[in-house]
Amino acid sequence: MIAAPVRWSVREALAGEREILRWFVGARLVTFAFFAALYEIGPIGLLGPARYRAPLALLGAWDGTWYLHVARHGYLLVPGHQSDPAFFPLFPILVRGLHLCGLPYLPAAALIANGAFAVDVVAFHRLGRRLLPDEIARRGAVFLAITPIGFVFSMAYPESVLLGLIVLSVLAALDGRWLGAATLAGLAVLTRPEGLFVSIPLAAIAWRGRRALDSGTRGRALAAILAAPVALLAFPLYLQWSIGDALAWSKAEESWGRSFRLDGPIRAVEHVPKLLEAHPLLARDLVLFAVYAALLLAAFRRTATPRSWILAGGLILVLPLFSGTFESEGRFGLLALPVYWGAASFALSPRAERLTRTSCLVLLAAAVLTIPYVWP
């Protein structure tokens, strides 16, 4: 007897994701519409006319300029000046690869960022369903799709790629595919240093299932746990090989006004008045840091979020402060995934839920309009 062929379709696979994908599409439409509106307004703010040469050219603004520069030219350390070894290599590598297929650099970067984010919201929903009640998982994924600083996920920035690598690495570990988890974890840390903290939930998964693992599987699980730290250590070796300076990353960070020290959080607080005097709109990062911390606490107290995730999320929030500034905390905090589960933990009436989500889209539009005046 011949078994009937298994029929599979994208429609069936995504049947449970329709609500999440509707909000994802709505948020991307808002994002692109307001980037296009900035183009129509014309050169304003701190960005020159070159950033207004096309309707969506602003997608490559601020740090996007540097990621695209690495994609085009590779690394070059200029002592005493802002230079590109401060930016990790995986995203530029992907952009260059797509460029070699015929796409210009900025459209390639935008396609990668937005395509990765589409995968992110679905994968995050599925991760949430493995860890938490379905309602928290679903609402958390919606909040990820519409988060007000989520315009970053559409720009020439690596956050959407990193988020996806973290989520997919953990999903692979939950399915016992430890070599896949190791590969994804290593790639995560080559995208941004926050990828290092995926090792925490991976270690927790391995520890919980340790009695059921044979010796070979334990070795693969250990490889997954160590993959991110090893990849982080490999980056200076690559810099030594490519430009002859293993310390190029830390030197470049200093030129960007960041130096990692134990007293960094104290310096960050002391730096706040000067920061706000120079760039008042960066009050956004202070507010968002407080919001993220509150939602992380909500995830800890109101949901069954594994403590390993709470720890990883807390470290993602706090680590940048050791560089001595709150700058870009709004963007870095997007990677603290329990924040979205914390937001989802507050039960709302259907009307209040719609109002909250609509308000997020309004804030998203407002956040896009700040792009000419302050960096994400």
pLDDT at 8 > cutoff 50: no
Q: What is the pLDDT, as a whole number, of residue 256? A: 72
Element (H, E) at 57: none
Q: What is the pLDDT of residues 169-203, one digit of tens each?
A: 999 999 999 999 999 999 999 999 999 999 999 99
Average pLDDT, integer, range 363-369 = 97
Q: What is the pLDDT, as a whole number, of residue 95? A: 98
Task: Determine which of 161-175, 262-276, 333-347 has the lowest per-residue pLDDT on average.
Answer: 262-276
Considering only residues 299 and 50, tell me which one the structure prediction assigns the higher pLDDT: 299
Q: What global pTM score does this model have?
A: 0.93
* Closest-CA residue to 339 (of 293, 370, 308, 372): 293
Q: Which two tokens stand for residue 76?
A: 């070059």
Residues 6+ apart with CB under 8 A from 289: 317, 326, 329, 330, 333
Average pLDDT, integer, range 1-11 = 46
Residues 177/223, Cβ–Cβ less than 8 Å: no
Q: What is the pLDDT of residues 231-257, one digit of tens each?
A: 999 999 988 988 888 888 888 877 777
pLDDT at 10 > cutoff 60: no
pLDDT at 140 > cutoff 90: yes
Q: What is the pLDDT, as a whole number, of residue 14? A: 64
Q: What is the pLDDT, as a whole number, of residue 13? A: 56
Name the pLDDT band for 77 (thresholds 50, 70, 90).
confident
Average pLDDT, integer, range 268-291 = 91
pLDDT at 150 > cutoff 90: yes
Q: What is the pLDDT, as a whole number, of residue 83? A: 81
Helix 159-174 and helix 105-131, axial crossing angle in degrees, nearest 10: 30
Q: What is the pLDDT, as a whole number, of residue 132? A: 97
Name the pLDDT band for 124 (thresholds 50, 70, 90).
very high
pLDDT at 6 > cutoff 50: no
Residues 317/296, Cβ–Cβ less than 8 Å: yes
Strand, coil or helix: 134: helix
Mean pLDDT computed over every residue of the chain:
92
Q: What is the pLDDT, as a whole number, of residue 363? A: 97
pLDDT at 1 > cutoff 50: no
pLDDT at 12 > cutoff 70: no
Place of tokens 């996806």: 164
Q: Where do the structural domains in the chain lie, given as residue ranges? A: 16-369
Report the share of the chain in percent with pLDDT over 70: 96
Q: What is the pLDDT, as a whole number, of residue 5? A: 45
Q: What is the pLDDT of residues 200-239, one digit of tens each?
A: 999 999 999 988 889 999 999 999 999 999 999 999 998 8
Count Cβ neighbours within 10 Å for each residue of 162-188 and write b for 16 or more, e otherwise: bbbbbbbbbbbbbeebbebbbbbbbbb
d(CA 373, CA 330): 15
